[in-house]
Amino acid sequence: MSPLEEVARLRHEALERISTADSLASLKEFRVQYLGRKGRLTAILKGLKDLPVEQRKQVGAEANKCRVQLEHDFDAAERKFSEKSEAPLIDPTLPGTAQRVGAMHLTTQVIEEMCGIFYGMGFEIARGPDIETDYYNFSALNFPPDHPARDMQDTFFVEGDRLLRTHTTPVQIRELEKQKPPIKIITPGKCFRNEAISSRAHVAFHQVDGFLIDEGVTMADLKGCLVAFCKAFFGEGLKLKFRPSYFPFTEPSAEVDIQCFLCGGDGCTVCKRTGWLEILGCGMIDPAVLEMTGHDPEKYTGYAFGIGVERPAMLKYRIDDIRLFFNNDLRFLRQFV
């Protein structure tokens, strides 16, 4: 068989192999057999040096033409196999997968509920910085220099006279410096105290503080406001009591306790076996605080209160450990979506 006939027969045989290949792997194997470095067509091209000059030109031209044609045919066949083997990225026949939708954290929900109740009573909302100065956090609120709350065991000091605020009451001073009575404001926000973490205490917590300053404000106004809030938040059947207390920035001062929902008043670890849990502190604003911010205590009086967020939430939703608010456990959080 002449070299030209060998090229024609090889081309015919390769095309037949391409048409009968049943997989991409077998197709690649055929490509190596015919076009590889040791393939049959490559062997013909290497043998051109042994042919006469005239025949060498003829056979070389046909062999190169055959190589180009076979490469094109192999490429086309491989593309078809690749298209068949590629699975679609999306199968439109499958049912859709529902995506979980995010929701507000329980703490945020409770803060918004509290603010909504006070907003309905006519309170405006103000906010302040988490990092405060000693002046706004203590001095302007009538804390004496030797008060234990200023100690590093109670307060996180940043540097100099700056600290992580221990309550949101400093916003009260900032607003009193900017406004004139009548003033009626609540100040929700995050607070920090250097306490041992337990089932009922944490180093970070939230408060909703509030205050009202006007002419003729009395303790009866304060009590009426807080009783209305507690019944709106916890329900009409609530049992609560006011008991005397002390805060440097209010005089007289009181704390409000409500019966522990978790144990029904029998006593548990959350209420320290007393059956009652303190949820807020309150009192009439000390005249010294009014004087510090440029308001006449002979003309104006006012009340102030500070409500924790986590403890009332624990009572309302029967949560027995404050640490659950900060653990980011989705099993806990999804219960309140």
Assess contact for 322 and 315: CB atoms under 8 A: no
Q: How confident is the model at residue 74 (pLDDT cuts 50, 70, 90)?
A: confident
pLDDT of residue 311: 86
Residue 60 has pLDDT above 80, yes or no: no
* 3-20 vs 53-85: helix crossing angle, rounded to 10: 0
Q: What is the 3-state secondary structure (H, E, C) of the chain?
A: CCHHHHHHHHHHHHHHHHHHCCCHHHHHHHHHHHHCCCCHHHHHHHHHHHCCHHHHHHHHHHHHHHHHHHHHHHHHHHHHHHHHHCCCCCCCCCCCCCCCCCCCCHHHHHHHHHHHHHHHCCCEECCCCCEEEHHHHCHHHCCCCCCHHHCCCCCCEEECCEEECCCCCHHHHHHHHHCCCCEEEEEEEEEECCCCCCCCCCCEEEEEEEEEEECCCCHHHHHHHHHHHHHHHHCCCCCEEEEEEEECCEEEEEEEEEECCCCCCCCCCCCCCCCEEEEEEEEEECHHHHHHCCCCCCCCEEEEEEEECHHHHHHHCCCCCHHHHCCCCHHHHHHHC
Omega before 170 cis (within 30°)? Answer: no
**Identity of residue 227:** V
Mean pLDDT check: name the lowest of 74-83, 177-186, 202-211. Answer: 74-83
Does the pTM exceed 0.85?
A: no
Q: 106-336 — its CATH code?
A: 3.30.930.10
Let me know: does 120 contact 184? Beta carbons within 8 Å: no
pLDDT tens, residue by residue, 138-153: 999 988 888 787 776 6
CB-based contact 287:299 (threshold 8 Å): no
The domain limits of the chain are 3-85, 106-336
Q: How far apart are CA 276 and CA 309, in angstroms?
A: 17
For residue 55, what pLDDT is reported?
Answer: 78
What are the C-alpha distances in Å from 106 to residues 15, 134, 261, 279, 317? Answer: 71, 31, 18, 17, 10
Residues 226-284: tens digit of each pLDDT: 999 999 998 887 788 999 999 989 999 999 998 877 777 778 776 778 888 888 999 99
Answer yes or no: is pLDDT of 86 > 70.
Answer: no
Q: What mean pLDDT value characterizes the chain? A: 86
Which residue, 137, 201, 189, is CA-closest to 165?
137
* Cα-only R_g, the chain: 41
Q: Which of the four pLDDT bands, split at 50, 70 and 90, describes residue 81? A: confident
